[in-house]
Chain A
């Protein structure tokens, strides 16, 4: 069964303190791994799609990387506005049309 585990559940950083969020996954065959940002009371906001091991993508202070078993979301010199819940999801390349989501990492960046 496809599965996604995110760690840590919650992370508190000082402004400027870089860190990484982890997404471990098992999937029968990976079509794509997705990172989303979710603010309280809002829907998930698309960040990245990664397709194969070794791939990296960047957007402002965020960089996502992918291996065969996990993905990391690196946050460089975070700002308070980066505070949000970050969700990871995988989609298999066969059969069912669904994203399997992790439970997310709640990030709080203090000034």
Chain B
């Protein structure tokens, strides 16, 4: 049981390049999320999904796209990377009910756009 797995762990992009970040969870969770974490700021929600085939915008969606073709995978795409997208990206899935309700996060992808 690996939990939430993110690939890649590190990436350097040039401005204008594109890439896809992959999030995979093996816990059969319906809800999945993409957050970014920047110094001095709390984690901010980019996009989320409430189930296979569904996606929705979060707090800071501009410049990103997502897809959830399979329940276990949630992909985050950057079509044309900008230096402002330099950040650490975390994927999360929501688990449990009642006492065990919470969110499980992956280990992150550190992205630098030069």
Q: Which of B48-104 contact A (CB under 8 A)?
A: 48, 50, 56, 58-59, 90, 92, 99-104
Query: CB-CB < 8 A to A101: which residues of B?
Result: 42-44
| Residue tally, chain A, CB below 8 Å to B | 21
Query: CB-CB < 8 A to B48: which residues of A?
Result: 97-98
Residue of A nearest to B58 (CB): A98
Q: How large is the interface on B (under 10, 10 to 19, 20 to 34, 35 or more residues)?
A: 20 to 34
Query: CB-CB < 8 A to B41: which residues of A?
Result: 103
A-B contact count (CB 8 A): 57
CB atoms of A100 and B42 under 8 A apart = yes
CB atoms of A98 and B90 under 8 A apart = no
Query: CB-CB < 8 A to A44: which residues of B?
Result: 43, 90, 105
- Using A32-B101, A49-B102 as known contacts, list a sample of 12 further A-B pairs with CB atoms less than 8 Å apart, ordered by residue number in A: A32-B102, A41-B108, A46-B104, A49-B100, A97-B33, A97-B45, A97-B50, A98-B48, A99-B103, A100-B42, A103-B40, A103-B41
A-B contact pairs, 21 of them (CB 8 A): A4-B42, A36-B105, A41-B107, A42-B107, A42-B108, A43-B90, A43-B106, A43-B108, A44-B43, A44-B90, A45-B105, A49-B99, A49-B102, A89-B42, A89-B43, A97-B31, A97-B48, A98-B45, A99-B43, A102-B42, A103-B41
